[in-house]
Structure 1
Amino acid sequence: MTAKTSPEQPLPIRSVLQMVAQWIGKLGTVWAEGQITELSSRGGTVFLTLRDPVANVSARVTCPRNVYEATVPRPADGARVVVLVKPDFWVNRGSFAFTALEIRPVGIGELLARLERLRQIIVSEGLSNADRKRRLPFLPGAIGLICGRDSAAERDVLENARRRWPAVRFKVETVAVQGPYAVGEVTEALHKFDTDREIDVIIITRGGGSLEDLLPFSDESLVRAVSACRTPVVSAIGHEQDNPLIDLVADVRASTPTDAAKKVVPDVGEQLALIGQLRDRGRRVVVGWLEREMSWVTAVRSRPSLADPVREIERRAEQVDGLRDRARRCLISSLDRAEDSMEHVRARLVTLSPAATLERGYAIVQFPSGEVVRRASSVSEGEELSVRFPDDRIGVTVTKPSI
């Protein structure tokens, strides 16, 4: 669109900007590729800059939040994407920007999306569950190390492990740690160590690198091989910020090769110090127990029964003598009382005895059977009777019965 203008007949700037907006609006939509930088959000809109990774060229892009959140995985700073954009010219500000209608990961972004899908599968199958993780042995007899040939990661693990425990034994398998042969070689070494009865722990390690360099350690076949191992596996791939999928299923994740050595091998100095502390603690416990027992024995020995056993026997003998004298006195007193009682009874018996009556001049007439004659009418003439006196008796014959 053109307009006739001259210094004498200029167009207002608003008209010029409207003409520019109309012309840009006719361009329609276009797919553009670039790298996301300066990502920010405000309200329902996400703002970003789409930069050309080769040339020093960039453009501002506004994206509705629903379009941004619909992208899996969500783009982050540094992600390479393909964006369906529509050019817009803002008349009020006189600025140009693109509006994103759709975002698709490309390159690293597409790779990350694929890895994210695989991560979700691994998590959904429970291969990363904590209850599947096995504890590392305190002091492994032999350690299987899978690493690159002549790599710094190998040196870090070996040197740090031997510095912590000089007697530690390693079996090393050097393999390709990137490229098309890496997955096969690492898997083969893993199976070899897993079937070796001498190996107690397996360490898989390599140094840092780009996402593409670490891709073999996110391969699904290798991840499943690690999860199926009977021997505990330690993953030490890259640096702290690197998170290949093998970290999810490994029994222990180490942030660096050096960290792997520290996690697998105990420090001999620390263990000796711990042994010293435990020994001192055990000594204090035993000494304390012995002191308590000695105090108890001393207290027992200080008791009178053990300090002077003869005195205790004498005291007991005095008690026996006292009890014996008391018993004798009690018995004599009881006998005296019994004797007095007997005398009283005897006197009463004497007083009430028929013999005492006979002593006063009375006599007892008895039939031969011993029955006492109580009436004269109870005897017959010529009947033999017995007359009893205090000291003797005589026999009599009834001559004349009483009337």
Structure 2
Amino acid sequence: MNSLAFFAMLLYFIIYSLGAPIQYVASLIGVQSLVTFSKVALPGILILLGLVKIFLRMEINKKVFSLTLLVITSLLIAYFSRLPLVQIVYGLKTFMPFFGVYFYFFYFYKKKKDFKFLYRLMIPVTFLGLFVDKFIDFPWSNISIEVGGIEREISRSWETFGVERLAGFQTASYDSAILIVILITLFGISTFNKAEKSKKIRLYDSFLFLLGIYSIYLTTFKSAYVFIFVYLCFGLLKKYYNKTTQREKKFAGFLMKLTLLCLFLYSLIPPILSIMGINFFSKVGQSSNFMSNYLFKSYGIRMMHTWPDALKLLDLASFSGWFGRGIGGVGTAQQYAEPLVYNAGDNFFLFIFITFGVLAIPLVLALLKLLLKINFTENNWFIMGCLLLIIFTFGATINFIDSPFLMSISGALLALYTNFYYNKLLKINS
């Protein structure tokens, strides 16, 4: 069972980390549907293996159990909202990476040193893809395939105000940036309490970190910039935290929580303001200033159109929209059955509110509670800090739930965090 789980997880990682060339080669030999199917089948296998473990142990983490109930309830809401079956199925698919990767890291994963290997291998590979993409056009760039009757680009190449957004080996530039963030996060977890002894390896790892930052620069993905900045602040505060008095430790802990709280509000408040008709960036699109357009125009579009229009989807829901539209009611799943009202959502909290309605409120409060209850004396605070950092930075402006990368790393980090307590409890009870 362990070997099957490892093979499924490895294959799943390869297919997504080298998604564009794999999909391109598959399309040339006529098996593109097989690659698409594997993206569903592999997390499905991990979920089934996880369920076997649950039945054998007769126990399940409360957080994951609550999320499972929420998804099941939302499937029923989608049915009562009369969403087409294909839309519901695709909506369910978007949650599979979270649960599949969670079960793998909670029940099967044992070696944190694998994170270092992935970091040292995939940072150069991802950089290579982006760097080469800067000078030549890959054969898969802007090539489309048909999946489920919907035309999809293997790799999207486009520009923002004349600045090219490079995708490399990924479907889009933001996927490459998110992959780098994932690699940096997992590497940070593996070295958090135990740094490398070899000075040469530490120097090489530092070089890779800088290479990763430059790679993010090549993607022009602004949310990744925010993540890296706060991630570095966490590292500095952690170093400061471990070498100070108790009073100074409280202050350092306060700064870290305050940073996360600001990011929480950054991802939660703007959609609410936009729905109320308040848009601080309404005049940006009329400006001729390159920098203001580059930094804020897309954000202004979200506040003016994307977020207010997304809320209107609840007019199509059952139960007066109180319980949302259900799974598949917003985001990519709409493209398969209701493309005329498609809305990406482009905000984590707005997305879950349209999907779950008032049932999303406990989830929002749970995230806030996790933030406020981070205990910096515990060895695993960094894991929860990174999980919240990823949700609040990327969830502020992109379609978080529809991203297999973000859902996968969220499942992995939650598993690593809860597994620490699980093992601690086993020690206490033994």
TM-score normalised by L of structure 1: 0.21
Greater percentage in helix: 2
Higher relative contact order (CA 8 A, sep 6+): 2
Looking at CA atoms only, which structure, 1 or 2, has the larger radius of gyration? 1
